[in-house]
């Protein structure tokens, strides 16, 4: 055991040294060394000590410096298991927090959020504000990644509130040796970033200034943190029209980036400078800088390439080049489709390995080697729920539509064969929206016809994804719903202009249920409509948009539910099959108000 302890300490020291010198090392060489350390830890099957756990944490930090920490998920799961038997609860809190943070992709979100929730509760039990802020920031990042921006904002605000309540606790370093105040800086910076996306520039500048002030304590090895916060602040200044200040920040970023061979630093500096030039009216120069920034991002990882694309699209829209902006959106869609497919391919032992550099961060970890049809259905449901959350704050739209569709089918004698499948098929009706950039899904103004056509393409991709994962036979009902839920009874729908009985019955049912639930809830571009107004609309659209028999059945179901006097939403969620996403989201709602 003494020899093992010495070996694990040596691994910890070596990994820490690699991380400290990450900016000056070739990524390939560093990856080779970290892979060797990881294999050594995996081989130590019987190790169950705090020294082993510390070595795992150190190797995780190394992979994180390369943007590849998800590779460590299996070892983090082992670390969690070990920590449950160790007396130091701080180790368990940290293992849970790291596991949740690094496995928090869309498919694996419920499990990742469960780890983070437990970690937050442990931090509170230990009355450790630094640990709480660190974990809540990790939680906020995961929530941002899966599109739950409302909860992400609450998480970052909660982290900032904890810091403001106990600022003296942040005067030292955390368990990893990082200045504790950087945890609060991260909360402020992420608040600023979300505010920028929502065009709340004043709030964004307030928090980006706070983040930059706190990040002054960062070491030279943490310069990326400072440049990232400078990037957020510079773009917000440009949006606010404070171009002289923005130019000054961009120039200082360039001075730092030019003195190094760090591609990430160059990416951040180019992006900030590009946005400033565009706002200055130097459109061609600014767009060229943003294109260079995108190329740098693409050379690092897919997780950086997509935001770089979206920044370029935002610049095109700002200067009135809508065609170019839409083309960038299409490019983003290609990347999103590839990433969605790779969520499944990476979990399938029969799948070929894609390019490790570009797509490592898309792997859903913690799954069994054999992926069953049911687990693929759950994964598809998680993808659909995450996509829908970008438009509907509660994230429960697909759950309600599923329950309502089943109840409507139950009132139609000729739909009896659908009762076992239609609820879950309805939950997947918009799974293809995961291929649509978030900025388009949340656009408040009217869409151009080209944008509408692009948005409607999600139905075809949804069908393709379902058939790929569930097979032609088992996935038939699910695929029909995904492809045909925007068809109209009069033949003027999309994508195939089917009419009447040509439209699969399951798609006709889900189309009506989806319309009712969507119209009675807020969307980014409009407020919810009252039930009576929606009822009149559905009746008016009989034989035009909707199947008349389906509308009659739906209105009977809704009438019966409303007669109870209880919330229709609550009743539908209660009657729905259990959902990992709903459970995780509701648990978070309670956690973030404490």
Q: Which of 210, 214, 198, 253 is nearest to 231 (CA)?
A: 253
HEC string for 135-199:
HHHHHHHHHHHCCCHHHHHHHHHHHHHHHHHCHHHHCCECCCCCECHHHHHHHHHHHHHHHHHCC
DSSP states of 28-54: HHHHHHHHHHHHHHHH-TT--SHHHHH
- The domains of the chain are located at 1-126, 128-218, 379-591
- The answer to whether 420 touches 477, Cβ cutoff 8 Å, is no
Neighbours of 307 (CB within 10 A): 15
Measured CA to CA, the distance from residue 151 to residue 365 in angstroms comes to 23
- Domain 379-591 class? mainly alpha
Q: How many Cβ atoms sit within 10 Å of the Cβ of residue 165?
A: 9
Burial of 85 from C-beta contacts in 10 A (0-12 / 13-18 / 19+): exposed
In the chain the first and final C-alpha atoms are separated, in Å, by 43
Residue 171 phi, psi dihedral angles, 5° rounding: -85, -15
φ, ψ of residue 241 to 5 degrees: the values are 80, 10
Which pLDDT score is estimated for 339? 79
Preceding amide of 390 cis, omega within 30: no
Identify the H or E element spanning 11.
Answer: helix 2-20
Helices (H) and strands (E) in the chain, counts: 29, 0
In total, the chain counts a number of residues equal to: 594
Q: Which residues are CB-neighbours of 89 under 8 A, at least 6 positions away?
A: 122, 125, 126
How far, in Å, are 18, 28, 51, 135, 558 from residue 13 at the CA level? 9, 20, 11, 24, 64
Average pLDDT per consecutive 10 residues, the chain (594 residues; last block may be shorter): 80 89 69 90 88 93 78 87 95 94 78 92 94 94 84 93 94 75 94 90 96 81 85 96 96 88 91 95 95 90 83 92 92 86 58 39 38 77 81 81 96 87 94 87 80 90 92 91 97 96 96 96 86 97 97 98 95 90 79 73
Distance CA 80, CA 91 (A): 8
Q: How far apart are CA 495 and CA 457, in angstroms?
A: 8
* Both tokens assigned to 267: 């990416």
Could you give the CA distance from residue 190 to residue 288 in angstroms, rounded to a whole number? 27
User: pTM score, two decimals?
Assistant: 0.83
User: What pLDDT score was predicted for residue 218?
Assistant: 67
- Give the Cβ contact number of residue 536 at 10 Å: 12
Residues 6+ apart with CB under 8 A from 1: 49
Nearest CA to 326 out of 309, 303, 340 is that of 309
- Collapsing DSSP states into helix, strand and coil, what is residue 75? helix
SS3 437: coil
Q: From CA 538, how far away is CA 547, in angstroms rounded?
A: 10
Whether 430 and 384 have beta carbons less than 8 Å apart is answered as yes
């Amino acid at each position: 055991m003494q020899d093992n302890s010495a070996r694990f300490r040596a691994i910890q020291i070596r990994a820490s040294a690699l991380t400290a010198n990450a900016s000056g090392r070739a990524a390939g060489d560093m990856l080779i060394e970290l892979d060797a350390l990881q294999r050594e830890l995996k081989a130590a099957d019987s190790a169950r000590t705090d020294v082993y756990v510390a070595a795992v944490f150190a190797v995780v930090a190394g992979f994180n410096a390369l943007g590849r920490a998800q590779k460590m998920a299996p070892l983090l799961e082992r670390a969690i298991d070990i920590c449950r038997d160790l007396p130091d609860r701080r180790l368990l809190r940290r293992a849970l927090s790291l596991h949740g943070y690094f496995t928090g992709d869309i498919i694996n979100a419920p499990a990742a959020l469960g780890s983070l929730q437990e970690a937050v509760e442990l931090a509170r039990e230990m009355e450790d504000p630094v640990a709480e802020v660190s974990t809540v920031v990790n939680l906020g990042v995961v929530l941002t990644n899966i599109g739950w921006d409302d909860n992400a904002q609450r998480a970052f605000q909660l982290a900032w509130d904890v810091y403001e309540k106990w600022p003296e606790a942040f005067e030292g370093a955390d368990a990893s040796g990082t200045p504790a105040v950087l945890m609060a800086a991260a909360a402020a910076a992420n608040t600023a970033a979300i505010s920028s996306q929502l065009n709340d520039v004043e709030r964004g500048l307030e928090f980006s200034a706070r983040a930059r002030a706190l990040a002054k304590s960062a070491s030279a090895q943490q310069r990326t943190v400072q440049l990232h916060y400078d990037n957020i602040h510079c773009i917000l200044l440009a949006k606010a029209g404070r171009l002289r200040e923005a130019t000054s920040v961009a120039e200082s970023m360039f001075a730092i980036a030019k003195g190094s061979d760090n591609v990430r630093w160059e990416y951040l500096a180019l992006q900030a400078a590009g946005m400033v030039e565009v706002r200055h009216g130097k459109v061609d120069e600014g767009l060229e800088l943003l294109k260079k920034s995108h190329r740098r991002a693409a050379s690092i990882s897919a997780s950086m390439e997509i935001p770089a694309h979206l920044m370029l699209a935002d610049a095109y829209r700002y200067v009135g080049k809508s065609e170019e902006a839409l083309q960038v959106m299409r490019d983003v869609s290609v990347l999103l489709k590839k990433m969605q497919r790779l969520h499944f391919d990476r979990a399938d032992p029969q799948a070929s390995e894609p390019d490790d550099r570009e797509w490592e961060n898309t792997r859903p970890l913690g799954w069994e080697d054999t992926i069953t049809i049911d687990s693929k259905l759950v994964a598809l449901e998680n993808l659909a729920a995450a996509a829908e959350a970008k438009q509907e704050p509660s994230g429960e739209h697909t759950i309600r539509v599923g329950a309502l569709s089943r109840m409507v089918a139950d009132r139609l004698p000729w739909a009896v064969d659908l009762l076992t499948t239609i609820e879950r098929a309805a939950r997947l009706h918009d799974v293809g929206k995961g291929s649509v950039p978030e900025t388009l899904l949340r656009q408040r103004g009217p869409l151009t016809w080209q944008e509408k056509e692009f948005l409607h393409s999600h139905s075809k991709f949804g069908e393709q994804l379902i058939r790929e994962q569930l097979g032609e036979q088992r996935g038939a009902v699910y695929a029909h719903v995904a492809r045909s839920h925007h068809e109209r009874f009069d033949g003027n729908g999309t994508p195939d202009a089917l009419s009447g009985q040509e439209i699969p019955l399951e798609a006709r049912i889900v189309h009506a249920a989806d319309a009712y639930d969507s119209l009675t809830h807020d969307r980014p571009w409009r407020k919810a409509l009252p039930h009576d107004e929606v009822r009149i609309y559905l009746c008016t659209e009989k034989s035009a948009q909707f199947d008349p028999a389906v509308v009659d059945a739906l209105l009977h179901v809704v009438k019966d539910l409303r007669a109870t006097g209880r919330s229709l939403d609550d009743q539908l969620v209660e009657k729905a099959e259990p959902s990992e996403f709903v459970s995780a989201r509701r648990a978070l709602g309670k956690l973030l108000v404490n």
